[in-house]
Structure 1
């Protein structure tokens, strides 16, 4: 499924917002009846989903919920670009959802917002991608059930590269050169999102660095990352980046409509891209950005969590178990019928014939070889801080070192709050 229908991590949660009660106003208009009154079973649950872009997704989630006979499950399908702030604000109120989708983040555990799910996931733990289990494990407990894994990479038009006489870029320097040669007339060479922020983490990884060390200290502030930001600035200043696309990076329309030769997007968009462009499409990871670096792929995705303050936590856990652990037919439908996603269940991934050949198989290989999963210690405030680095150094042309220093202050405060 694509991003919010209007990022970052994944895909759909690109526009991160700090939680605030100001979001409660828009929230009231998003969902209609909360489902907390009446109903045939006498029991009610509310689940929150952000608005996926692919046709049929909202209907599918509501169809699954309707099939559950343990409670009346109402779905809040949150439209707009600030799902995070609406979710976090709602969690502070009596109308908070019982279950919700999000990404594993340690502050939700430390603030007591989510309930541990070991009792429902332990029997099938070995059937999940170990990296997904690891990213959802905090203080020895598992706090969420992964629904889909979503690799993100660079799509390119082989015909346009051939016409320009270039090969798919393997280094950041080659990407800068390619963007220049592919920018012709109304076609820009490269689309990295309207804010360019989706590739901040891939840039870090491609230099050989990381966001945090294993001991939860700042790891992204290196000379190589600063130099990489300068190269993004080069493309920006030269006018080789598409910056005003009608839809942002999670939507493939910039590529399919011929506005760009290369675009950063997710595997979820692959069926739409193939339908529009046929065989004239290829994929590569974010290219090596420094000596000793490696290509990088963002492994985004979404997971289900249970509100620790739900009126009936056990019922909420039963529903999550029923849908995202027991009902493999729904899990497969969700992963493969509305876009391409990699099922986090290894048994489902093994039987996913749509991902076994051609471009989808290449996507799975990039996911396996170069993918970076969620770091639960990397919080919303840290995400926003690095988005600020891109804004300050790439879009505004400020000194990358100064921008990284500014981010260090925010990230340092967050780390101190979390780990002392």
Structure 2
């Protein structure tokens, strides 16, 4: 899988950053089969073979307009952010968002009406961050998720049950560590880069509450994050692996007994290990904790500066609401992802057995997405603190006090723009 893929939104933190517009792609798409109205549609450059040809095929099948697909290499988030400020941008575009700035700035259209009668069939974990002020601004396409892989044989040989609490995970990682194998791999930085808010949700907390307040101003946050340092201090974590957490190589090569990675890794893990693995959500912590599964979804959005707004909305409804056959094809024929529609995820043949079925259940029951109000500034403050807590043993309470202040200020700033 190339560096630009559906998993990117789970690897890059929150939102698009500022910067220069990078190289734009050319129009490499076949036109849609319709005549008359001409629509342009943008996608980021997927690394999965066949994905580009698939979206061209979908567009060509549409009869009510001529849809021209563009495959956009480079920094796609920056490209679209810049293009939405001009009259030469796309009519329909894929977006890791839409972002709060795009919604508040009137750059995208309200798509709530497109989901009439089917809204409850979209996984709420990925639909909620596309919703602002009670209105839906992007239609989720497919779901990516992170989860914990474990070697059944290694745990069984050590007499260890698959961990369902954070304390059990810390203890299991310590017991599974020996001279050749580490107990757990959370990434080469010890987990600060990938875990994000996942441990907070496992403690029963949130990044941002439904009321727009800081969701982790609670002693439980410090207790939970402190346990991540225990993993580091116990030398239970694999560090310096040849590839990072998104690649299951360390796990399938036997360098670690457990690894945090993504659903996209499951076909490779199954090919290498057969049935000698299982998957789990991030385990709960504390009396009020719950299992935690980070999920994310690119969405289809419609530009407010397009010349054919209603036609663009009609096309989005056709492709991402009505054509469930295309939605399942896009999720599972060019990589391994979960359809955004709950009904499709439950009936898809590739997701009905074993670890894949477990993953769908985890995403449905325990999935969370970064909230719309979680801005890059808040993300950076939290991420830096988490890195110091895990790797340097910095005091979690002191670190989190500073983060709470920074995030509260950022939330006040954002809400004033509403």
- TM tier, shorter chain? 0.7 to 0.9
Alignment map for 1:222-301 (pairs within 5 Å): 222-301=218-297
Q: Which shifted more, 101-110 or 297-306?
A: 101-110
SS of 1:317's equivalent in the other structure is helix
Choose the corresponding residue for 1:88, options 81, 89, 113: 81
Alignment map for 1:12-31 (pairs within 5 Å): 13-16=11-14, 18-22=16-20, 24=21, 27-28=22-23, 31=25
Alignment map for 1:14-413 (pairs within 5 Å): 14-16=12-14, 18-22=16-20, 24=21, 27-28=22-23, 31-33=25-27, 43-49=38-44, 51-68=45-62, 70-78=65-73, 83-93=76-86, 96-98=89-91, 99-103=93-97, 105-195=99-189, 196=191, 197-413=193-409
SS of 2:286's equivalent in the other structure is coil
Q: Cα gap change, 1:251/1:418 in structure 2, threshold over 3 Å: closer, same or farther?
A: same
CA distance in 2, matches of 1:204, 1:410: 17
Q: Cα gap change, 1:234/1:132 in structure 2, threshold over 3 Å: closer, same or farther?
A: closer
CA distance in 2, matches of 1:388, 1:339: 32
Gapped regions of structure 1 (runs ≥ 5): none
Structure-2-length-normalised TM-score: 0.86
Contact 1:17 1:384 in 2 (8 A): no
SS of 1:191's equivalent in the other structure is coil
Q: Cα gap change, 1:294/1:391 in structure 2, threshold over 3 Å: closer, same or farther?
A: same
Q: Cα gap change, 1:360/1:313 in structure 2, threshold over 3 Å: closer, same or farther?
A: same
Structure-1-length-normalised TM-score: 0.85
Partner deviation per Cα, 1:192-226 (whole Å, 9 max, x = no partner): 23342322322001111111222111121322221
CA distance in 1, matches of 2:362, 2:27: 42
Alpha-carbon RMSD across the aligned residues, in angstroms, is 3.1
Q: What's the offset of the Cα at 1:33?
A: 4.1
Contact 2:200 2:221 in 1 (8 A): yes
Contact 2:201 2:289 in 1 (8 A): yes
Q: Cα gap change, 1:254/1:108 in structure 2, threshold over 3 Å: closer, same or farther?
A: farther
* Count of residues in correspondence between the two structures: 410
